[in-house]
Structure 1
Amino acid sequence: MSVDVLVFGGGAANKVASAAAAAGKETVLVEKGPLGGTCLNRGCNPSKMLIAHADRVNAVRDADRFHVDAAVRGVDTETIVEEVHGTLGGVAEGMADAKRSEENLTFVNAEGEFVDDRTVRAGGTEYTADELLVAAGTRPLVIDAIDGIASVDYLTSDDALRLRHPPERLVVLGGGYIAAELGYYFDALGTEVALLEMEETLLPREDGEIAERFTAVAERRHDAYTGYRVTGVEETDGTVTATAESADGEVVEVAGDELLVALGRRPNTDRIGIENTAIETDDRGFVEVDDRLETSVDGVYAAGDVIGQHPFKHAADHEVEVVAENLLGGDRTVDYRGISHAVFTEPQVAGVGRTESQLQEAGTDYVVGRAEYADTAMGRALKLDEGLVKVLAAPDGEVLGTHLLGHEASMLVHEATLAVRHGLSVADVADTIHVHPSMNKVVAAAFADAAAEL
């Protein structure tokens, strides 16, 4: 069957299918799972909804600091999990119903596989398209080199987000944002959490100072073993034990009732028959694209996590806008300037632009501005004992990067996001009148501190 456009993947890319169909192009959307992709079904949506419950639990436990007598009498985790996934399942079903009603759009809810550069077999039919978008996403990475991993029952983030009964003890392999967020969530439910991370800090991709301070916070909640590489796991009588070794040869053994593997994600290109095409991938399996998001095959585009650029839903949203425009005759390129990110623990972590180590490695001159949450009126009102905004600026005042650890960092980072994307100086932000005594005053203070260093 010949069509104009085929979209392979129903996450953010489903918007491209709708845009093409609305423009009168005969379009096919192939997605084997529920629409909405990882974010809606197995990622940011369910995790943040669950974490919102963890925040409420911790707020009650923290009430005594505000001289409020309160206690957590119980947490109905089973109902929480059912409610979260029931809500999101309804959203996904609604999306599917909407797609089925769109003119010029055929939604194939089945597994797909490339037959050649422009042909995909799905649901028993072969569809050949003039133009295609590959948006097949990623899945949790499990490292086969860990001795015994194939012989034990383990959780991935997909499983952990649906766990109706939290374990008493949880061992987490990894210390990135998935490990940090799920560790925070399960800790709030009363689980004893142990994290094993091969780098010297948790969240090792963050600015080093922020990562160190986050690690110190996490160590007050969890057993955090940083600088330890996991070498093996084994399971005996329902107890899973992970063995890890430091660079100097020190060995630790950490036991728990459940094992969560949170070591990153891998592209799904090995499951979609991409070897039957001339679409080029890198050595990790991510699809290679140019700045228009076109692959090595003319008229075949790729977007989202499968290209391995910025594994965030907001990046994918930008990418599919670019692809939709190009499919309809445009010539738009991606622009990742000012793309920020956040980790939704408490305190939160957020960042935009380059880190201090990246600037040092590049030999870039810079100054640093800092402000502590505790030194602001709202920080004192909320009794915040942890929080930092760190601004990195060029000698001419250009904002090179901003990194935050603290309450609502995911919202506060957007001032810096605008500055980085639109070339504002530290003085531009510092001179902007901020509401008093809002939490944003800590951002203004950090930018003012950077401006004073110029």
Structure 2
Amino acid sequence: MRKFDLIVIGSGSGLEVSADVSDAGRSVAVIEEGPFGGTCLNRGCIPSKMLIHCADVMQTVQNAAAFGIHAKVERIDWRFIVQRAFEEVDADAAMIERGNRQSENIEVFKGRGRFTGPKTIAVTGPGLDEEELTADTILIAAGTRPWVPDIPGLDRTPYITSDEALRLPEQPRRLTIIGGGYIAAELAHFFGALGTEVTIIHRRGLMLREEDEDVSRRFTEVYQRRFNMMLDSQAAGVSSKNGEIIVEVTTPDGSKSVTSDTLLMATGRVPNTDSLEVAKTGVELNQRGYIKTDEHLQTNVPGIWALGDIVGRYLLKHNANLEAAYASNNILDPENQAAVDYHAMPHAVFASPQVASVGLTQQEA
């Protein structure tokens, strides 16, 4: 069994902590199964915003006549749009991994980590014999993954999540999105602005329910003009036939069906605590499976810390970076721990229209 001063699970914002601890001369193990950089770089904010900018450019051209500029779009090079984004993303991920492997006090373990005890982790991966690691201090920063509800027929029907939606090699002609949060809103804008016929099925009456109600209402009104919106509706079943996806929908007006080329599940996120087998550590989880921490980001098990999406306070990259700064301080200087200040956490939805807010909504105040 290999022992380190610190083990970091995940290569997103947790790398900020591993860098600080290694700079202090301590040994660090970084466990990562996929590309380095976490959700934001590989499957989230960075590639999605690069793609969404193309949709914004499209809308600018389409609306240019309002400013006396007459232009038209000749064609859309979908493969170039996707390739342009991910050539940069993949290069950045490789650079981050290379930098960690070259760091003097950091050792990278490329594989899946799972807890086998309170302070022991087994790592397995391609070309890697199972290796067991231990440390007095462990930081869990392994993020979340798309959550997919149990819809009859879905297990036999092709579908994608936001992970795959950003790398589609071909543009779908018709797209059905199940969900009504920021992921559904942003991806509907991306695909719709570039010419895909979009249908959104949402179980609530308003999109973006986390926003102030007035904002959600106005946003929903705009989307009802842009897309085929099925609100207060539930997907009752899905199937595929002759390359088409059929979704049976229960609406306030009765049962209806929607046919498309591609089905996108944008129904939320779930923490990776189950695949890590965090339960074997004795760390407390909340009802949704997220890790409970105190105001210093320490769990109920001494020496085990957590930050970022897997904690579930705010599923935002800048929040994870904020928590990483506090975690570094609190791990390196335990006598002078600081409580994380969440008092003004901003966020934005890069759709059309764009939405940004900070602080409490009227409903929360």
Q: What TM-score do the two structures reach when normalised by structure 2?
A: 0.96
The percentage of counterpart residues that share the same residue type is 39
Paired with 1:181 and 1:76, the residues of 2 have a C-alpha distance of 20
Paired with 1:251 and 1:314, the residues of 2 have a C-alpha distance of 42
Partner of 2:214: 209
Residue 152 of structure 1 pairs with residue 157 of structure 2: yes
Structure 1 residue 249 displacement after superposition: 6.3
Partner of 2:317: 313
Structure 2's unaligned 5+ residue stretches are 125-129
Aligned counterpart for 2:205 among listed residues 200, 219, 228: 200
* Residues 1:262 and 1:334: Cα distance change in structure 2 (over 3 Å): same
Greater mean alpha carbon deviation, residues 272-281 or residues 47-56: 272-281
The one-letter amino acid of 2:66's match is R
Partner of 2:281: 277
User: SS of 1:73's equivalent?
Assistant: coil
Aligned counterpart for 1:189 among listed residues 182, 185, 194: 194
Paired with 1:199 and 1:7, the residues of 2 have a C-alpha distance of 38
Partner of 1:98: 99
Partner of 1:389: none
Residue 341 of structure 1 pairs with residue 356 of structure 2: no
Paired with 1:271 and 1:289, the residues of 2 have a C-alpha distance of 19
Paired with 1:229 and 1:205, the residues of 2 have a C-alpha distance of 20
Paired with 1:357 and 1:97, the residues of 2 have a C-alpha distance of 47
Paired with 1:239 and 1:203, the residues of 2 have a C-alpha distance of 29
The one-letter amino acid of 2:86's match is H
Correspondences of 1:36-435 after superposition (within 5 Å): 36-123=37-124, 124-144=130-150, 146-246=151-251, 248=252, 250-329=254-333, 330-359=336-365
Residue 8 of structure 1 pairs with residue 9 of structure 2: yes
Paired with 1:166 and 1:267, the residues of 2 have a C-alpha distance of 30
Q: What TM-score do the two structures reach when normalised by structure 1?
A: 0.77
Q: Deviations over 1:364-400 (max 9, x none)?
A: xxxxxxxxxxxxxxxxxxxxxxxxxxxxxxxxxxxxx
The one-letter amino acid of 2:153's match is G
Structure 1 residue 346 displacement after superposition: 2.1
Paired with 1:220 and 1:67, the residues of 2 have a C-alpha distance of 24
Q: How many residues align?
A: 357
Over alpha carbons, which structure has the higher Rg?
A: 1
Structure 1 residue 129 displacement after superposition: 0.3
Paired with 1:336 and 1:254, the residues of 2 have a C-alpha distance of 42
User: SS of 1:356's equivalent?
Assistant: coil
Structure 1 residue 251 displacement after superposition: 2.3
User: SS of 1:323's equivalent?
Assistant: helix
Structure 1 residue 244 displacement after superposition: 2.2
Structure 1's unaligned 5+ residue stretches are 360-454
Greater mean alpha carbon deviation, residues 229-238 or residues 18-27: 229-238
Paired with 1:249 and 1:17, the residues of 2 have a C-alpha distance of 55
Paired with 2:311 and 2:249, the residues of 1 have a C-alpha distance of 32
Paired with 1:41 and 1:159, the residues of 2 have a C-alpha distance of 11
User: SS of 1:193's equivalent?
Assistant: strand
Q: Deviations over 1:348-378 (max 9, x none)?
A: 001111111223xxxxxxxxxxxxxxxxxxx
Paired with 1:20 and 1:357, the residues of 2 have a C-alpha distance of 41
User: SS of 1:186's equivalent?
Assistant: helix
The one-letter amino acid of 2:190's match is Y
User: SS of 2:13's equivalent?
Assistant: coil
Q: Relative contact order, CA 8 A, sep 6+: which one is greater?
A: 2
The one-letter amino acid of 1:193's match is V
Q: Deviations over 1:315-343 (max 9, x none)?
A: 10011111111110240111111101100
